[in-house]
Structure 1
Amino acid sequence: MNFEKAKKLLTQLSVFYFLLAAMIFFVAGDGFRHEIVNGSALSPSSVIGEIVDGMVVEQRLPLGADHVEALNLQVATFGRQNTGILHVDIYGEDGTLISSAQGRLEDMGDNQVIRFSFAESLDGMRKQYSTVKIWSEGCQPGNAITVYYGNSVQAGKYTLQKGIASEDLYQVDGTSGSGTLCAYFNGYNDLIFYKVYWPLILFVYAAVAVVIRRWWNQAKQGKCNPLTTFYAMVVQYGFLTRQLVSRDFKTKYKRSLLGVGWSILNPLLTMLVQYVVFSTLFSNGTKNYPVYLLTGIVFFNFFNEAINMGMTSITSNAALIKKVYMPKYIYPVSRVFSSLINLGTSLIPLLAVMLLTRTWPKWSLLLLVFDILCLVVFVMGMSLILSTCMTFFQDTLFLWGVVSMIWMYLTPIFYMDTIIPEKFLALYHMNPMYQYINFARICIIDGISPNPISYLWCILTAVVVFAIGVSVFRKNQNRFVLYL
């Protein structure tokens, strides 16, 4: 190992690490200071009737945030231009009035969600319940509005009934109704991640530096370790890796009339087909469904293509492995890199659909660098594991075909996770592809940074799977030639 070149390479990686950390910190902004909390309401099914003077509507609702700023209420005007004032009072668990807000009826449109902002946020009651009381002033029959209630969740054309406890039903003048008001609180939670971000970044860097220092000393003694392996791949075999990537990319589009154009057309055509099939079933309540759908298609296609190519990378290069010595890990790694080129071209139609649907690019798009980097590391780990299995068991190819299909349907590509029963959501969100795709959608569609937990999930799944892949591959690579 050329130690001068190795030192230069490590310096470049250190600079990249801190530049990436700084970019994430400044682009994320308040996303690391506060977690925005938007409560959820059941789908509206009917209205409670006109809220006239002397009538009181009550609803028990969880506050659900460190700082509650407003209550959102879905109202109906019966198609009239009403006058008067609608009052919203918030009572604490001890029955004391803790906040109130009001709105003019003439400013409220039919079937609108009206935000009632509080003069001061309700602080420190995140785990408490409140009682919302709604009453009117200057409203008589024929000159009043109403509010919606529901008892189910609407997922496209499907209606999922929700079990509602008796104490959570709305009440009109003390009489319980048959659902809950379509109302929810808005606010934010304080995060300590902003304060510990840079100490955490420095701690990780220092910990990695200690490990690399140990590997550096071992390399000077002529011992092989992950540092020498990484150096060999980047420097000694870098040219060969680039040639393999180029070969795989050219082979894919060999004798193809459109060539690389298929990387642009394929996700677009897939989106069009799935949009026609699923838009009427699952698009209800989905913000910018075309971009939502295409983001899922582009990222999952990369995942599936890279693993399919990486899985057969050892067996398909059997003749070369038997004749020429080179580190075997280069084969699955080069396949992932060639798929990464296809991902880059697939982002072009995604950007085009964003512009056509007026989803204007924001600074949060820069965070996709982090998301894609984690996804690439995760896919490399999966490719190392499956290429090892494929060498010993040819049935791996057929088994993976079934697993990948199941994985696709367990990932919200064309549907939203709101159709998943609440008791299974925690397990469902452990799907790594859910985390990577959801991260991308937040950056692209919402134009904000995901919360810190999303970053940690992406890093954790990538590092763990990659470490397992490297371990499995290293232990078995010397036996590959016996099965080729």
Structure 2
Amino acid sequence: MKRTKMNLKKGCITAVVLYVLLITIFYFVAGEQLYFRESDYEIKSVAGDIATPEVTTDFTVKETFLCRMNRINGITLQLATLARMNTGNVIISVNDETVGKVLWETVVDVSTLTDSVVTEWKFDQAYEDVFKHTLAIVIRTEDGQAGNAIAPWYLTTENKEDMQLYFNNEPVDGTLCFSVFGDDAVWTGPHYWLIMGAVGILLVLYCMLLLYKEKNNKKSLGLYIIHVLKKYRFLIKQLVSRDFKIKYKRSVLGMFWSFFNPLLTMIVQYFVFSTIFKAEIAYYPVYLLAGIVLYGFFSEATGNCVGAIVGNASLIKKVYMPKYIYPVSKVFSSAVNLVITLLPLLIVAIITKVPITKAVVIVPFVLICLVVFSIGIGFILSAGMVFFRDIQFIWSVVSMVWMYGTPIFYPESILPKEIQPFLQYNPLYCYIQFFRTLIIDGISPEPMMYVKCVAFSLLSLIIGVVIFRKGQDKFILYL
């Protein structure tokens, strides 16, 4: 008993030290993503129907708009050269009219412009403190003359709220063909250490509670899980090893199929869907394979869990052990396969020249969340299969519908706008989107994505444990 208590104390200390290490690493990896995220209030360009009069020394174009972003990073404009090779320069600036300040200004050689092509300017630095300020895009010149100047496109039939177009400081109807992109502030950034400190205190208090209950021989779910994992860890290893070996029994290539399966699936789907979606999705092979790998794990793990109890009926009738072990071992076996399938994803990422950034160190977080989520679903399915054998057929249909309802091989933008908000309630979408952000974008997702991933995982696990625990005593009567 004394040794068990000592091991628990060491485990608690290790958990606290590991927590401090992880939150420190995460802070430096997440970086700016803790403080800012892409704004939902970016201004999208309208489709113009005519060009303004030429911008000359006697004519200036200005568009004012109310900024609902915390900072702006750049703008785009659609400029017409009127099918000529013009000379001279045009001056484009972004002004903060609320405080009377020029935020950004550039001089453009008009001979370098292509007629009616949308041109983007990304600022050298982001401009902050512009929330709810009236900003203005001003287009002017100091040498442009009629017949040798450019003209911005605009839409004459639309007047947007909080926007106003001006010709020579005189208001006119219409909206300039421009866009503004930027970021919104995330409240978790300035409060990160406060939040993590509070969570750390809760972790320390929970460890102290476990030590107290262990010392006084009191019951605790946490202690029960620790003791079960310690007592049956050898058996869990054997079950995981058995399931993994059985999967490739008498196969020539054996475990190499874990490498080739997602790769071959990706190749087939790539040639089928690349002509449809390739232009809309950056690094489409990696985008596709990321979805295949994560969904493939979930489908395999939950599919194996369906028969986790029924398939081990003879063992359950002869030997006593916690029945939770059976579905958990099935998920862990699939998790081993998941780690192997990450290798072809890495190879494809290197071949397609996806930038590998420090954000990849966060990958284990989303994988652990997905594993926990799968364990919760596995508990529900394995328990349900004992009482209702049609679960295996129902789940095959549900998982197929779930697959097509998740943007695995298609972009979410093709879905109707009325349906897109519901994707946020799809756990698999959250896990896959989180994973793609780390791999393809090379940045940490916004903090709310972490909350969603953890919430879906814990909710699934809690519901699964409650259902499984309620029915496990009756399993023997139906096996």
TM-score with structure 1 setting the length: 0.85
Q: Is the contact between residue 286 and residue 440 of structure 2 (CA under 8 Å) also seen in structure 1? A: yes
In 2 relative to 1, CA 330–148 (structure 1 residues): closer, same or farther, beyond 3 Å?
farther
Letter in 2 for 1:125: F
Q: Quick one: which of 453, 470, 479 aligns to 2:474?
A: 479
Matched residue, 1:16:
18
Following TM superposition, by how much is the alpha carbon of 1:473 offset from its aligned partner in structure 2, in angstroms? 1.6
CA distance in 1: counterparts of 2:87 and 2:255, whole angstroms: 62
Which string of whole-angstrom CA distances, capped at 9 and with x for unpartnered residues, describes residues 135-178 of structure 1? 55544576445656799xxxxxxxxxxx987659996967756x
Between 1:5-14 and 1:344-353, the stretch displaced more is 5-14
Q: Quick one: which of 163, 180, 183 aligns to 1:188?
A: 183
Q: Is the contact between residue 381 and residue 466 of structure 1 (CA under 8 Å) also seen in structure 2? A: yes
Matched residue, 1:157:
none
Matched residue, 1:340:
335
Matched residue, 1:3:
5
CA distance in 2: counterparts of 1:242 and 1:116, whole angstroms: 53
Following TM superposition, by how much is the alpha carbon of 1:97 offset from its aligned partner in structure 2, in angstroms? 7.9
Following TM superposition, by how much is the alpha carbon of 1:451 offset from its aligned partner in structure 2, in angstroms? 1.3
Following TM superposition, by how much is the alpha carbon of 1:60 offset from its aligned partner in structure 2, in angstroms? 6.4
* Identical-pair percentage: 38
Following TM superposition, by how much is the alpha carbon of 1:359 offset from its aligned partner in structure 2, in angstroms? 1.2
Which string of whole-angstrom CA distances, capped at 9 and with x for unpartnered residues, describes residues 279-316 of structure 1? 12222231111111111111111111111112221111
Q: Quick one: which of 279, 284, 294 aligns to 2:279?
A: 284
Following TM superposition, by how much is the alpha carbon of 1:182 offset from its aligned partner in structure 2, in angstroms? 5.2
Q: Is the contact between residue 216 and residue 227 of structure 1 (CA under 8 Å) also seen in structure 2? A: no
Following TM superposition, by how much is the alpha carbon of 1:444 offset from its aligned partner in structure 2, in angstroms? 1.0
Q: What is the aligned length?
A: 470
Q: Quick one: which of 109, 129, 137 aligns to 1:123?
A: 129
Following TM superposition, by how much is the alpha carbon of 1:64 offset from its aligned partner in structure 2, in angstroms? 3.2
CA distance in 2: counterparts of 1:452 and 1:327, whole angstroms: 36
CA distance in 2: counterparts of 1:260 and 1:288, whole angstroms: 28
Q: Quick one: which of 406, 414, 420 aligns to 2:401?
A: 406
Matched residue, 1:114:
120
Q: Is the contact between residue 39 and residue 185 of structure 1 (CA under 8 Å) also seen in structure 2? A: no
Q: Helix, strand or coil: the match of 2:90? A: strand
5 Å-filtered alignment, 1:109-258, equals 111=117, 113-115=119-121, 117=123, 121=127, 123-126=129-132, 132-135=137-140, 138-139=143-144, 143-145=148-150, 183-258=178-253
Following TM superposition, by how much is the alpha carbon of 1:268 offset from its aligned partner in structure 2, in angstroms? 1.0
5 Å-filtered alignment, 1:450-461, equals 450-461=445-456
RMSD: 3.4
Q: Is the contact between residue 101 and residue 116 of structure 1 (CA under 8 Å) also seen in structure 2? A: no
Q: Is the contact between residue 98 and residue 135 of structure 2 (CA under 8 Å) also seen in structure 1? A: no
Between 1:56-65 and 1:39-48, the stretch displaced more is 39-48
Matched residue, 1:32:
34
Q: Is the contact between residue 44 and residue 180 of structure 2 (CA under 8 Å) also seen in structure 1? A: no
Which string of whole-angstrom CA distances, capped at 9 and with x for unpartnered residues, describes residues 80-102 of structure 1? 65433334455779897865634
Q: Is the contact between residue 376 and residue 461 of structure 2 (CA under 8 Å) also seen in structure 1? A: yes
Matched residue, 1:443:
438
Between 1:268-277 and 1:103-112, the stretch displaced more is 103-112
Letter in 1 for 2:285: P
Between 1:274-283 and 1:216-225, the stretch displaced more is 216-225
Letter in 2 for 1:226: L
Unaligned runs of 5+ in 2: none
Between 1:57-66 and 1:316-325, the stretch displaced more is 57-66
Q: Helix, strand or coil: the match of 2:127? A: strand
Q: Helix, strand or coil: the match of 2:402? A: helix
Q: Helix, strand or coil: the match of 2:370? A: helix
Letter in 1 for 2:327: P
In 2 relative to 1, CA 94–24 (structure 1 residues): closer, same or farther, beyond 3 Å?
closer
CA distance in 2: counterparts of 1:270 and 1:41, whole angstroms: 39
Which string of whole-angstrom CA distances, capped at 9 and with x for unpartnered residues, describes residues 338-374 of structure 1? 1111111111111101111111321111010111111
Matched residue, 1:73:
77
Which string of whole-angstrom CA distances, capped at 9 and with x for unpartnered residues, describes residues 38-63 of structure 1? 87676886774476235666656552
Q: Helix, strand or coil: the match of 2:452? A: helix
5 Å-filtered alignment, 1:396-435, equals 396-435=391-430
CA distance in 2: counterparts of 1:390 and 1:266, whole angstroms: 28
In 2 relative to 1, CA 169–62 (structure 1 residues): closer, same or farther, beyond 3 Å?
closer
CA distance in 2: counterparts of 1:319 and 1:78, whole angstroms: 82
Q: Is the contact between residue 212 and residue 227 of structure 1 (CA under 8 Å) also seen in structure 2? A: no
Point out the structure with max Rg over C-alpha.
2
Q: Helix, strand or coil: the match of 1:429? A: helix
Which string of whole-angstrom CA distances, capped at 9 and with x for unpartnered residues, describes residues 372-424 of structure 1? 11111111111112222222211222221222122112211112222234444
Unaligned runs of 5+ in 1: 152-162
5 Å-filtered alignment, 1:323-338, equals 323-338=318-333
Q: Helix, strand or coil: the match of 1:194? A: coil
